[in-house]
Amino acid sequence: AGACAAKVRRRGPDVVPKHALSHLASEVAKREKDKEMTTWVLVADNSRARFFAADKAASPLREVRDLLYPEARLHESDLVTDKPGRDRNPVTGAHGVGADSSHKQDGADRFALEVCSELESARNDGAFRKLYIVAAPQFLGLLRKHQSSSLKQMVAAELDKNLTTQDSSAIRKHLPDFL
């Protein structure tokens, strides 16, 4: 009855075997490398923004997000419920009041801000290392206005064309062979 009790070392739920740690480290490194290689392409106009990713320099594009702003397709009269006000002054006569800026332009500006916010969030998450922007000329100007300086540094090139209705292979043809 004089048996020695052997010490048993038990693994708790927070103890990870050494071989599992090396596997985990290689998976993390692989994901980080994939992030480093990812290039995003934004294709946008004042009513739609499509976000594409290319995992390697010569990869085809895959769509990762599609933002819509349907109000941009409405006529100005559908966005405004009544006519601008009028002012009757005996000295100057009658003239219109207000309505200096169009509601469509304001909406496009807000949509550009939303698109840039999406890009900024993705940049902060490390989702891409390089960005190409393909946008309708007027909308491209609005995007430039709302980009942070950090986001502007990620932009590899811009193309002032409206390709939002094109499929990913047609869009890819307008971009450099190696992104």
pLDDT confidence of residue 158: 97
pLDDT confidence of residue 105: 84
The answer on pLDDT for 162 being more than 80 is yes
Kindly state the average pLDDT of the residues 99-122: 86
Q: Which residue has the higher pLDDT, 138 or 20?
A: 138
- Of 39, 17, 68, give the one whose Cα is nearest residue 172: 39
Q: What is the dihedral of CA 148, 154, 160, 165, to 10 degrees?
A: -100
Cα 167 versus chain centre, distance = 18
For residue 56, give Cα distances in angstroms to 21, 29, 40, 59, 93: 28, 16, 11, 5, 66
- Radius of gyration of the chain from Cα atoms? 27
Kindly state the average pLDDT of the residues 110-128: 96
For residue 35, give Cα distances in angstroms to 38, 40, 62, 98, 171: 5, 11, 15, 49, 22
Buried b or exposed e, range 9-43, using 16+ CB within 10 angstroms: eeeeeeeeeeeeeeeeeeeeeeeeeeeebbbbbbb
Of the chain, the percentage scoring pLDDT greater than 70 comes to 61
First to last CA, the chain: 76
pLDDT confidence of residue 73: 66
Q: Is 106 helix (H, G, I), strand (E, B) or coil?
A: helix
Phi and psi torsions of 124, nearest 5° = -65, -30
Give the pLDDT band (50/70/90) at residue 93.
low
| pTM exceeding 0.85 | no
Kindly state the average pLDDT of the residues 65-72: 87
- pLDDT, tens digit (0-9, with 9 covering 90-100), for 19-52: 555 655 555 555 554 445 699 999 999 999 999 9
The answer on pLDDT for 92 being more than 80 is no
pLDDT confidence of residue 100: 47
Integer Cα distance of 51 and 164 in angstroms: 10
